[in-house]
Amino acid sequence: MNFHILTLFPEMIMQGIGTSITGRAIEAGHISVEAVNIRDYSDNKHCKVDDYPYGGGAGMVMYAEPVFRAYEAVREKIGKTPRVLYMTPQGRVFRQEMAEELSKEEDLIFLCGHYEGIDERVLEEIVTDHVSIGDYVLTGGELPAMVMIDAISRLVPGVLNNDASAEIESFHDNLLEYPQYSRPEEWRGKKVPEVLMSGHHANIEKWRREQSLIRTMLRRPDLLENANLTKQERVLVDK
């Protein structure tokens, strides 16, 4: 899986994604991350990439041409036309299902804006998906791109050492994950639930499923509508 990020702050991307699990995934060749500096594609002798908006108003708007050239450079390099995800609070909200869908692509281009945004004409020309990571406004698209790349990467085969863990965790079946415990058996008077020490796998599975349901009901009841539940569970949560 190859991620290409069009940005004015490539070092931000490389520092963020080059660390920890995603950093190891790059080293192991499961993913590649290329941050393309839009400023390198400026046609202006001062490498200017933005200007005041026509019609007035606050902030600066990024020029269309450098963004388009950076995009063309990626397309020429890889010899295909991948999906282009524009990071914007005006987009479709990113969820686990979108991460799953995108993890099947071979290449993805992320377009990160800054300031007041990017000239609409280049967005019309190249963007296939407008994506938001949530209903709040950030200063730029770099953090959203990193959030998405992280969530997508962990679904790429080989990135997590344990294949199962990508599936079991929160949002699989649209339920939150059950609580986890490790040593010691007793910590400051708080004991690990007995069933987890029993070695009885069926009981452990049952307990974990119940905990997932309870957690989801308490913390994220909005998820239950689309949760993958048995008939019996559905009756229980609908009570």
Q: Is 144 in the site for ligand ADE (CB under 6 A)?
A: yes
Residues recorded for the chain: 239
Residue 51 assigned as binding residue: no
Give the integer Cα–Cα distance in Å for 118 and 222. 34
H or E element in which residue 132 lies: strand 129-132
Positions in 83-142 near ligand ADE (CB under 6 A): 87-89, 132-134, 136-138, 141
Site string for ligand ADE, 15-34 (x = CB under 6 A): --------------------
Give the integer Cα–Cα distance in Å for 84 and 127. 5
Residue 107 assigned as binding residue: no
Please give the backbone phi and psi of residue 24, each rounded to the nearest 5 degrees, phi first: -70, -35
Strand order from edge to edge, sheet including 107-111: 32-37, 2-7, 107-111, 83-93, 129-132
Q: Is 36 in the site for ligand ADE (CB under 6 A)?
A: no
Instruction: Give yes or no for a contact between 215 and 176, defined as CB atoms under 8 angstroms apart.
Output: yes
Q: Is 149 in the site for ligand ADE (CB under 6 A)?
A: no
Secondary structure of residue 184 in the 3-state scheme: coil
Nearest-approach distance from CB 85 to ligand ADE, in angstroms: 10
Residue 138 assigned as binding residue: yes
DSSP β-bridge partners for residue 2: 32, 107
Residue 110 vs 171, nearer CB to ligand ADE: 110
Residue 236 assigned as binding residue: no
Backbone angle region of 189, left / alpha / beta, with phi > 0 → left and psi within -120 to 50 → alpha: left
Nearest-approach distance from CB 143 to ligand ADE, in angstroms: 8
Nearest-approach distance from CB 7 to ligand ADE, in angstroms: 12
Contact segment (CB under 6 A) with ligand ADE among 12-20, 51-59, 82-90, 206-214 equals 82-90
* Residue count, binding to ligand ADE (CB under 6 A): 11
A 10 A CB-CB count for 185 gives: 10
Q: Residues interacting with ligand ADE, by CB under 6 A?
A: 87-89, 132-134, 136-138, 141, 144
Q: Where is the binding site for S-adenosyl-L-methionine, in residues? A: 113, 133-138
Binding residues: 113, 133-138
